[in-house]
Structure 1
Amino acid sequence: MLPGSPPRRHAPAAPCARRALPIFQARGRLLGQLRGLDCAILIGETGSGKTTQVPQYLYEAGIGRQGIIAVTQPRRVAAIALATRVSSERTTELGRLVGYSVRFEELSCEQTRIKFLTDGMLLREAIADPTLRCYSVVILDEAHERTIHTDVLLGVVKAAQKARRQQGRAPLKVIIMSATMDVDQFSQYFNGAPVLYLEGRQHPIQIFNTKQPQSDYLQAALVSVFQIHQEAPSSQDILVFLTGQEEIEAMSQSCRAIGRQLPAGCPRLLALPLYASLPYSQQLRVFQPAPKGCRKVILSTNIAETSITIPGIKFVVDTGMVKAKKYSPASGLEVLALQRVSQAQAWQRAGRAGREASGVCYRLYTQEEFDKLDRMTVPEIQRCNLASVVLHLLALRVPNVLTFDFMSKPSPEAIEAAIEQLDLLGAVERKEDQLVLTPLGRRMAAFPLEPKFSKTILMSPKFHCTEEILTIVSLLSADSVLYSPPARREEVQAVRRKFISSEGDHLTLLSIYRAFKNVSGNKDWCKENFVNSRNMMLVSDIRAQLRDICVKLSLPIESSRSDSTNVRRCLAHSLFMNAAELQPDGTYSTLDSHQLVAIHPSSVLFQCKPACVVYNTLLHTTKCYMRDLCVVDADWLYEAAPDYFRRKLRTARD
């Protein structure tokens, strides 16, 4: 519906599937309540239909017709899948009435009236327009996940609501939605906003806990899968929650190996992995029905925890574990570590079993262990590096980031540590006791990237390697372009050998991208070289967008061609806070916090011992691993930030 066109007060004839959703019974009452409210908290159990139906009900009733109805999601996969589903329900082409916007990918037009976005994308739009003028309704979905972007967005939409009221503009309606969350905290934050409850889960779910704590949750998951497989009808599929790609691929292999040894008459078992960096065509396989006489076992990260309905799931196996970021402002270390889920996450996972029929959830932990879990997930904003957040807030011209209206305030130490990092990157300065962005900081905020990567691009003209840095940063901004099935490890290593650079992972990725471009993205070449062609195409799109930003900023774009030294020097000058040095005993220690770290087995430098490296991230499993490494010269690091390293040396001596 175009702005100004007459509202459609009647609902179109809802297809049977839409009418069958529990929310359909509440449609009239819900619209009556939402029409008169500026802000509401909507709690509806998993499977009630709130995510797909509420935006459509608002549109059909003419509520918010003067602008766009925004629906935010924590993950890009969910935003795209939901937009596809809703446009299909409206029988319109995706990108017209219903569109989406995720990082580096947008499908919408002037006619779009329902738009699914990742919360990070709506936040970027707010930098250009803090009152979110083109939106009439903002629905913040899956609010219980409390991602770093969601929490900042809560403050931004609250401020936008207030500003629009003061300016006498059309009000902004805000709806917070979830299946499980701390309603009192959300209601209080939005000045006593009413809480609306949607009745009833779609189907009942039985929950079983283990009688004893499990020392090996992977083994317990495998045993559970095959117990279900041998007892339940083959038409009933299983969803297993694991923590990451390596675990999922290893268990897929085990499932296939054990499946081949099952006695005759036992149904076939189809093990399907699901994680963010999996090729898109393989992600889609989880939504397709299994062949007759065959059972799907989907092994997934928490990507399957929210919003997306996978058909056929009857059983959920919840290991109770998740991989989450943890940041220590004191040491400056941000690591990806394994940890227990919260009770809210556990309920979300269980809810996946009751989407189409009654279901069963097996929790691989005792009831007593469940009772000890945190009730809600600790908001990401309280356990993450806040450099990006502070940069965003300053770009939004927030007068004092320390007093910004966060629903869950991060510690002052975490904010101060973020300010110090931005200061070291040259992004901020103090003017008359106020923190403001420097001209460099403002340019950094123009990129939808972590500050260290924005700085890398902005540093690149000094080293005459902008073309190469754009490629490297784009490769690091997309999900992995390399696909390494464990069953074919030797074959993978053999084909990758020709791309490997002794100077590290960044240069190896650059070499793979150049080869991909030389064959014009040929899909057979991608298959032969275990390269994820869809992710590589996305890298090309990201690169084009980042290059456009460089052009708008009048950044000279040069290539260093075969000279990799300048590329490595540029990386050293922007990633100097993520540096580690080889010790006499053969271990590595980070230069800033003297944390003991090791090279991750997936790195091309795994068998090498370079004297000095910079890395992108630390992953904490059995020990602290550095991922995505580049060999650098220690002198380049000191050259990049002499005061910083002098101070670190002094601290170490003290």
Structure 2
Amino acid sequence: MILKHRTRGLGTKIAELIICPIYANLPTELQAKIFEPTPEGARKVVLATNIAETSLTIDGIKYVVDPGFCKIKSYNPRTGMESLLVNPISKASAMQRAGRSGRTGPGKCFRLYTAYNYHHDLEDNTVPEIQRTNLANVVLTLKSLGIHDLVNFDFMDPPPSEALLKALEQLFALSALNSRGELTKVGRRMAEFPLDPMLSKMIVASEKYKCSEEVISIAAMLSVGNSIFYRPKDKQVHADNARKNFHSGFVGDHIALLNVYNCWKETDFSTQWCYENYIQVRSMKRARDIRDQLEGLLERVEIEPTSNPGDLDAIKKAITSGFFHHSAKLQKSGAYRTVKNPQTVHIHPSSGLAEYHPRGLSTMNLCLPQRICDRLLN
């Protein structure tokens, strides 16, 4: 927006400037614009996230501006929360970014930091993901393979011991491990699903509440990430109204995602319906593929496919069976306080519950620490 405003102010003093953003959640047709040939007498500016470091090469890029920062997902074992934090890049990333310039001809990279910063402040390599992520799924997989001595396991990049202990504690709370750290029957069923253990427990619990069809739809939609809804800059109000329609009846984000999938299914998986409701077709197709795989895995773990669309309480109970660890209660101040490891959190601004104040929450990723929420709102 700033670039568009500046170029509009300069008028005809400069040549036409084509501004193309590129990030993972951008719809495919808009991503394709960055590869279109630049018209004669015009210049192209590509505003990219880390996706441009290694995932793609754009012809004709001569100049790269490297700000020296990136957003990295980090897991805090003490709070049990993942955050997307802005961190300085590594020297390896800096070299990758410089390599984007002049791939097909001479080029330059302009770094917005000094040579001193590069040599003294930047790490040689990016911290491996295993050292900054929730290890519950890794531990469950290792246990299912018969590897019990996790402390002395020969990891290529050993994760923090605190993260391993947190993972064991979480799996015990989910009934995947017994008091001796051995896999239970529930744990063996959970290990069959290539999902976060909380999602796996949610699916296993759905057998009890007779709603496995609905729960695997929710699990598939959550597995896609935050790329279901699309909010174009010039149609934000329309996109927000379309999204609110799926939250009718004061339902949480999980039920809203189920409503999205069911409505899409009723339209025979219509692409046009996705465009009209500002929903990304690519993400929905991926969710459908994941759901088909989960449906096949239900048979493997001997869970009978059952449907109970009218009983939202049963679906919520199945969800809470997996995500009770993330439950929070409303305080008199209007903020929420997590039940385990008390911490003040707020509902994420993008959540459908942001306008309301339910007395309790049990969510996967709708609660944010106070400092992060303040940054998003300001």
What TM-score results when the alignment is normalised by the length of structure 1? 0.54
Question: 1:365 aligns to what?
Answer: 113
Q: 1:619 to 1:264 in 2, by over 3 A?
A: farther
Deviation at 1:619, TM superposition (A): 7.9
Distance 1:272 1:491 in 2: 22
Distance 1:491 1:587 in 2: 29
- Give a deviation string over 1:147-182, Cα, whole Å, max 9, x none: xxxxxxxxxxxxxxxxxxxxxxxxxxxxxxxxxxxx
Q: 1:266 to 1:368 in 2, by over 3 A?
A: same
Pick from 193, 198, 203 the counterpart of residue 447 of structure 1.
193
- Give a deviation string over 1:411-437, Cα, whole Å, max 9, x none: 222211111111111112365xxx432
Pick from 9, 25, 30 the counterpart of residue 277 of structure 1.
25
Question: 1:246 aligns to what?
Answer: none
Q: Is the 8 A contact 2:19 2:47 kept in 1?
A: yes
Distance 2:152 2:232 in 1: 48
Question: 1:493 aligns to what?
Answer: 240
SS in 2 for 1:589: strand
Higher strand share: 1
1:428 aligns with 2:180: no
Deviation at 1:307, TM superposition (A): 4.6
SS in 2 for 1:362: strand
Distance 1:421 1:461 in 2: 21
Distance 2:67 2:366 in 1: 23
Deviation at 1:447, TM superposition (A): 1.2
Residue 389 of structure 1 aligns to which amino acid in structure 2? V
SS in 1 for 2:178: strand
Pick from 468, 478, 499 the counterpart of residue 214 of structure 2.
468
Pick from 583, 598, 601 the counterpart of residue 346 of structure 2.
598
SS in 1 for 2:86: strand
Deviation at 1:408, TM superposition (A): 2.4
Mapping for residues 283-362 of structure 1, pairs under 5 Å: 283-362=31-110
Question: 1:635 aligns to what?
Answer: none
Distance 1:494 1:375 in 2: 46
Deviation at 1:265, TM superposition (A): 5.4
Deviation at 1:295, TM superposition (A): 2.4
Distance 2:368 2:299 in 1: 39
Mapping for residues 193-212 of structure 1, pairs under 5 Å: none
Deviation at 1:620, TM superposition (A): 6.5
Distance 2:2 2:232 in 1: 13
Question: 1:409 aligns to what?
Answer: 158
Distance 2:194 2:17 in 1: 42
Distance 1:594 1:430 in 2: 25
1:262 aligns with 2:6: no
- Give a deviation string over 1:478-534, Cα, whole Å, max 9, x none: 141111113211121223332224121111111122211121122222111111112
Distance 1:397 1:286 in 2: 48
Distance 1:364 1:620 in 2: 31
- Give a deviation string over 1:5-26, Cα, whole Å, max 9, x none: xxxxxxxxxxxxxxxxxxxxxx
Mapping for residues 21-36 of structure 1, pairs under 5 Å: none
Please, which runs of 5 or more residues in structure 2 have no aligned partner?
none
Give the count of matched residue pairs: 371
SS in 1 for 2:303: coil
Residue 453 of structure 1 aligns to which amino acid in structure 2? L
Deviation at 1:293, TM superposition (A): 2.8
Q: Is the 8 A contact 1:453 1:473 kept in 2?
A: yes
Question: 1:129 aligns to what?
Answer: none
Residue 369 of structure 1 aligns to which amino acid in structure 2? N
Q: 1:486 to 1:499 in 2, by over 3 A?
A: same
Distance 2:255 2:83 in 1: 23
Distance 1:378 1:620 in 2: 23
SS in 1 for 2:268: coil
Question: 2:332 aligns to what?
Answer: 584
Q: Is the 8 A contact 2:264 2:274 kept in 1?
A: yes
Pick from 509, 516, 519 the counterpart of residue 257 of structure 2.
509
Q: Is the 8 A contact 1:618 1:625 kept in 2?
A: no
Question: 1:483 aligns to what?
Answer: 230
Residue 451 of structure 1 aligns to which amino acid in structure 2? P
SS in 2 for 1:270: strand
1:536 aligns with 2:281: no
Deviation at 1:400, TM superposition (A): 1.4
Deviation at 1:266, TM superposition (A): 2.3
Q: Is the 8 A contact 2:230 2:280 kept in 1?
A: yes
Pick from 599, 602, 614 the counterpart of residue 362 of structure 2.
614
Residue 438 of structure 1 aligns to which amino acid in structure 2? T
Deviation at 1:618, TM superposition (A): 6.6
Q: Is the 8 A contact 1:331 1:593 kept in 2?
A: yes
Deviation at 1:603, TM superposition (A): 0.9
Distance 1:395 1:436 in 2: 9
Question: 1:42 aligns to what?
Answer: none
Q: Is the 8 A contact 2:176 2:185 kept in 1?
A: yes
Distance 2:56 2:205 in 1: 40
Question: 1:9 aligns to what?
Answer: none
Distance 1:556 1:298 in 2: 49
Distance 1:490 1:496 in 2: 10
Q: Is the 8 A contact 2:218 2:257 kept in 1?
A: yes
Please, which runs of 5 or more residues in structure 1 have no aligned partner?
1-252, 627-654
SS in 2 for 1:539: helix
Q: Is the 8 A contact 1:338 1:621 kept in 2?
A: no
Pick from 531, 552, 571 the counterpart of residue 319 of structure 2.
571
Distance 2:179 2:370 in 1: 42
Q: 1:353 to 1:618 in 2, by over 3 A?
A: farther
What TM-score results when the alignment is normalised by the length of structure 2? 0.91
Pick from 549, 558, 561 the counterpart of residue 297 of structure 2.
549
SS in 2 for 1:616: coil
Q: Is the 8 A contact 2:346 2:369 kept in 1?
A: no
Q: Is the 8 A contact 2:346 2:368 kept in 1?
A: no
Q: Is the 8 A contact 2:348 2:366 kept in 1?
A: no
Q: Is the 8 A contact 1:305 1:348 kept in 2?
A: yes
Distance 1:495 1:422 in 2: 38
Q: 1:365 to 1:349 in 2, by over 3 A?
A: same
Distance 2:340 2:84 in 1: 18
Q: 1:525 to 1:286 in 2, by over 3 A?
A: same
Q: 1:357 to 1:449 in 2, by over 3 A?
A: same
